[in-house]
């Protein structure tokens, strides 16, 4: 029996870009499109002519909670009927022909996660394509930590819906970084995943996106806390014992603010253990944190 697919798109206040995204999705009997509107502003969005209203394959779900993309994605999973779930941001788009080819792949029963290629545009207009694939056929990868390290974004992969339900995998309902723990849970739940040599998705750098328009200390710190939560999950699952202090959000914090860096240092000692920290926190190199690190290390040795 042929597989079916549910594409889930959280949306807020960008109807023109959402229309572009919907236009990039081919109309097929095996594709269900779910747009979850996260309390858009009625002065920006015409709800009487909401994007997708003229397509039978598009279902629009209006929410008033305004809890962010993670909440919207979780709502979308409640309405999803397809065997496979594919995520998209409203301000991105698919390469239509390649999306159709993805839907027509003959996937083995043991496939629960399929990573496909995407084009990532930078601020200067340049782009890179990830992952770089040499094999032109469907292949299997056993380095599942790629899912939470290099392919964190939900739109980098499609996942079997029953697999998500069986493992109780959902998104964090937070303002920033809602996909970090989702991808970590995927990494812990699978032993391997498949890679499809298809350029399916295009992500553009936009100045008004949530991450780019509000990059401040609060965002960096809350993302750093999610990185810490991810490290705890990976540690408990005996996967990817990486140096949390090299995490991009940690590095931004301890280059910006000493007090928040100190808070992160002590949280890591209590949540990851002093041995882990002593082994890995050599990244604290600038003078105030270096001296504090030496003091905490000596304190631990005395205790």
User: What are the distances in angstroms from CA 238 to CA 95, 232, 264?
Assistant: 37, 10, 22
The residue from 176, 210, 244 where one domain ends is 210
User: For residues 170 and 206, is the Cβ–Cβ distance under 8 A?
Assistant: no
137 and 84, same structural domain?
A: yes
264 and 201, same structural domain?
A: no
Residue with tokens 């890591």: 268
* Element containing residue 93 per DSSP (H, E): strand 93-94
219 and 199, same structural domain?
A: no
Give the Cα separation of 36 and 21 in Å (integer). 13
- Residue 246's pLDDT is what? 85
Give the Cα separation of 163 and 173 in Å (integer). 20
- Residue 289's pLDDT is what? 65
CA angle 142, 144, 146 (to 5 degrees): 120
Give the Cα separation of 36 and 270 in Å (integer). 39
236 and 132, same structural domain?
A: no
49 and 139, same structural domain?
A: yes
Give the Cα separation of 271 and 269 in Å (integer). 6
Beta strands 58-63 and 31-38 are: parallel
Please state the separation of Cα 131 from the chain's center in Å. Answer: 15
Kindly give the interhelix angle for 217-236 and 258-272, rounded to the nearest 10 degrees: 10
Buried b (16+ CB within 10 A) or exposed e, 87-98: bbbbbbbbbeeb
Which two tokens mark 66?
A: 């305004």
223 and 198, same structural domain?
A: no
SS3 41: coil
146 and 250, same structural domain?
A: no
Give the Cα separation of 111 and 5 in Å (integer). 14
- Residue 212's pLDDT is what? 55
Task: Write out the residue range of the structural domain in which residue 272 sits.
Answer: 215-302
Tell me the average confidence (pLDDT) per consecutive run of 10 residues in the chain, 303 residues long.
Answer: 88 95 96 96 94 94 91 97 97 97 94 96 88 86 90 95 97 92 95 96 78 74 93 84 84 83 87 85 64 68 59
Report the domain count for the chain: 2
176 and 59, same structural domain?
A: yes
């Amino acid at each position: 029996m042929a597989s079916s697919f549910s594409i889930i798109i959280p949306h807020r206040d960008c109807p023109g870009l959402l229309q572009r995204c919907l236009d990039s999705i081919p109309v097929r009997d095996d594709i269900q499109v779910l747009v979850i509107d996260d309390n858009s502003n009625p002065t920006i969005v015409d709800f009487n002519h909401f994007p997708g209203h003229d397509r039978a394959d598009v279902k629009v779900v209006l929410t008033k909670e305004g809890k962010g993309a993670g909440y919207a994605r979780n709502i979308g999973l409640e309405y999803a009927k397809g065997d496979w779930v594919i995520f998209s941001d409203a301000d991105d788009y698919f390469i239509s022909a390649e999306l159709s080819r993805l839907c027509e792949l003959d996937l083995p029963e043991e496939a629960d996660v399929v990573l496909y290629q995407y084009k990532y545009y930078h601020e200067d207009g340049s782009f890179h394509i990830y992952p770089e694939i040499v094999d032109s056929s469907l292949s299997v990868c056993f380095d599942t930590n790629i899912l939470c390290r290099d392919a964190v974004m939900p739109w980098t992969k499609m996942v079997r819906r029953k697999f998500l339900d069986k493992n109780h995998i959902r998104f964090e309902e937070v303002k920033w970084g809602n996909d970090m723990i989702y991808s970590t849970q995927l990494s812990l739940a699978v032993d391997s995943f498949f890679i499809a040599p298809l350029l399916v998705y295009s992500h553009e750098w936009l100045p008004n996106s949530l991450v780019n328009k509000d990059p401040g200390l609060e965002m960096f710190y809350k993302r750093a806390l999610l990185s810490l939560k991810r490290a705890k999950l990976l540690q408990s699952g005996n996967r990817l014992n990486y140096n949390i202090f090299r995490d991009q959000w940690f590095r931004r914090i301890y280059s910006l603010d000493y007090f928040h860096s100190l808070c992160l240092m002590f949280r890591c000692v209590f949540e990851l253990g002093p041995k882990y920290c002593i082994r890995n926190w050599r990244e604290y190199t600038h003078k105030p944190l270096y001296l504090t690190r030496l003091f905490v290390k000596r304190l631990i040795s005395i205790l």
